[in-house]
């Protein structure tokens, strides 16, 4: 890959002070501001909230009568922090939960909503106090575009078709009138609709051909209403399963409406979140090089069937999935894991991949928003904290809406230096990730064209990859200002081990 072209050798030198036993290495990166890749859609920084563990109940939703500060039932602190981060899109209600969810259970007077058993995640009984109206309200509170995953596994085309009408038809139909009677006279204008989820697994254990037949049938009845143009998303593979994609596309007539194709890609961890070894650290972080390969190969295969790229590629669920601690799961809910400095590095490595491949992707959703897997926020009763992953997204927020430009970095075995760069008019944004625990990096970013000036940088760093923001130490790891120098056609920055640095500089002469 050209972005990883070797440009300069490295040398080892003794570290001083606290990291005396560690090495420093010198790296040279070439940034080509005039070679544009594509716009970094804000949706590449998307998120996912499933009815799983305490992501919804006890996390985002505490109820209107809770003693925990809330906005109409939504946890106030979570709303404020997610709004500040600028969540571009939020996917709901699953995940596996989506294909056993019947949307009518979650509308109308709360006291009349049925109690249902969540068969996928622990057989918890849910009261359905969080449903379609509450989800839309949450999206509006945090400024996110709603993305609804429909029920194909245990639902019917009519059920999903009616959900679309209920959400989007302006007025005058029975479903639109019912929505108005339930407190929302204006249509929700939900554009993104997933036609099922993981239909190769928990969404029905289908073959690609079986799912293709279901997709064709369901999509036939999913229509645009008013001024809302639907973006219909088909279930892609788990991981880089090229056979699923090939067989699905072979079974799909060219006239079928498909706007997006969603793969899932998790980076599994061998250890409990706060007990990673160096070997398990390296193994997990190296999967992000495999993720980039998967995006390239899935997009190339889709292109054989879709030469005009009418179908956008999504990474619909991604993130680290560590070994779950049973005692923590009992206390905090299913799939709870601590979010460490390693987790933040993983988030930044993933976002760098998406930036570099911005022309091949339309959306990527981290799993999940609160308390589950690779979370932005953790809650415990009234307590709510921002994780290191929250801050990784915050550091990389300046890339949203900018145009990704080509980067060429040294070739090295993963996990190694990771870089992405983007340009917005006369501003250059560069994010550098040092995932190594044993070496700091002195990085020179040379510009192929233009002059850099007025540079500033922020860093997220901790020398212990198992360190985390906890309920007792919520601000242990937070972004800080970081030295950077701009001179002529180069930027120079030092990266300590286990660090994420985003540089913003004025760019002229391009």
Q: Which residues pair with 21 in a beta bridge?
A: none
CA 331 remoteness from chain centre:
26
Q: Which is catalytic among the residues 50, 145, 317, 394?
A: 317
What is the C-alpha separation between 156 and 319, in angstroms, rounded?
A: 31
Nearest to 412 by CA among 282, 253, 299: 282
317 is catalytic: yes
Torsion angles phi and psi, residue 188, rounded to 5:
-80, -25
Nearest to 31 by CA among 506, 490, 505, 508: 490
Inter-residue contact 389 to 376 (CB < 8 Å): yes
* DSSP per position, 93-113: S-SGGGGG--GGGGSS-GGGS
Q: Which is catalytic among the residues 198, 292, 394, 494?
A: 198
What is the C-alpha separation between 101 and 292, in angstroms, rounded?
A: 33
User: How far, in Å, are 214, 297, 298 from residue 290 at the CA level?
Assistant: 30, 10, 12
Inter-residue contact 59 to 371 (CB < 8 Å): yes
What is the C-alpha separation between 489 and 449, in angstroms, rounded?
A: 7
What is the C-alpha separation between 211 and 234, in angstroms, rounded?
A: 9
User: How far, in Å, are 220, 252, 399 from residue 351 at the CA level?
Assistant: 34, 31, 10
What is the C-alpha separation between 71 and 79, in angstroms, rounded?
A: 8
What is the C-alpha separation between 271 and 273, in angstroms, rounded?
A: 6
Inter-residue contact 319 to 374 (CB < 8 Å): yes
394 is catalytic: no
Helices (H) and strands (E) in the chain, counts: 10, 25
What is the C-alpha separation between 177 and 171, in angstroms, rounded?
A: 6
**Active-site annotation, residues:** 198, 317
């Amino acid at each position: 890959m050209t972005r990883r072209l070797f440009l300069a050798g490295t040398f080892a030198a003794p570290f001083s002070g606290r990291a005396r036993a560690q090495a420093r290495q010198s790296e040279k990166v070439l940034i080509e501001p005039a070679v544009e890749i594509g716009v970094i859609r804000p949706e590449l920084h998307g998120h996912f909230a499933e009815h799983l563990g305490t992501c919804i109940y006890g996390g985002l939703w505490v109820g209107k009568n809770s003693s925990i500060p809330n906005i109409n039932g939504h946890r106030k602190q979570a709303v404020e922090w997610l709004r500040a981060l600028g969540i571009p899109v939020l996917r709901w209600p699953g995940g596996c939960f989506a294909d056993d969810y019947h949307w009518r259970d979650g509308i109308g007077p709360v006291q009349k909503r049925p109690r249902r058993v969540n068969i996928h995640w622990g057989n918890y009984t849910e009261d359905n106090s969080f449903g379609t109206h509450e989800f839309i309200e949450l999206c509006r509170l945090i400024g996110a575009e709603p993305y609804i995953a429909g029920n194909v596994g245990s639902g019917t085309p009519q059920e999903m078709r009616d959900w679309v009408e209920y959400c989007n038809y302006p007025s005058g139909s029975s479903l639109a009138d019912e929505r108005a009677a339930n407190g929302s006279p204006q249509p929700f204008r939900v554009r993104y609709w997933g036609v099922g989820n993981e239909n190769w697994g928990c969404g029905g254990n289908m073959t690609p051909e079986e799912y293709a037949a279901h997709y064709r049938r369901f999509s036939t009845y999913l229509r645009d209403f008013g001024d809302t143009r639907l973006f219909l998303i088909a279930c892609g593979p788990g991981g880089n399963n090229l056979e699923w994609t090939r067989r699905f596309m072979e079974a799909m007539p060219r006239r079928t409406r498909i706007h997006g194709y969603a793969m899932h890609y998790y980076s599994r961890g061998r250890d409990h979140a706060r007990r990673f070894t160096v070997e398990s650290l390296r193994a997990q972080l190296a999967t992000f090089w495999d993720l980039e390969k998967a995006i390239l190969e899935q997009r190339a295969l889709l292109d054989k069937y879709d030469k005009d790229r009418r179908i956008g590629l999504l990474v619909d669920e991604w993130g680290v999935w560590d070994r779950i601690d049973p005692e923590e799961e009992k206390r905090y809910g299913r799939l709870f894991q601590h979010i460490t400095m390693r987790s933040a590095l993983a988030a930044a490595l993933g976002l760098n991949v998406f930036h570099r491949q911005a022309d091949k992707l339309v959306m990527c959703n981290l799993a999940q928003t609160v308390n589950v897997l690779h979370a932005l926020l953790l809650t415990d009763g009234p307590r709510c904290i921002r994780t290191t992953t929250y801050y990784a997204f915050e550091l990389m927020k300046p890339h949203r809406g900018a145009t990704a430009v080509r980067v060429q970095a040294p070739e090295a075995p993963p996990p190694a230096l990771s870089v992405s760069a983007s340009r917005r008019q006369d501003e250059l944004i560069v994010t550098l990730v040092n995932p190594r625990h044993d070496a700091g990096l002195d990085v020179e970013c040379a510009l192929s064209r233009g002059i850099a000036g007025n540079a500033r940088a922020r860093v997220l760093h901790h020398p212990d990859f198992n360190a985390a923001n906890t309920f007792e130490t919520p601000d242990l790891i937070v972004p800080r200002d970081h030295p950077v120098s701009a001179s002529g056609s180069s930027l120079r920055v030092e990266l300590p081990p286990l660090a994420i640095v985003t540089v913003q500089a004025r760019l002229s002469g391009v």
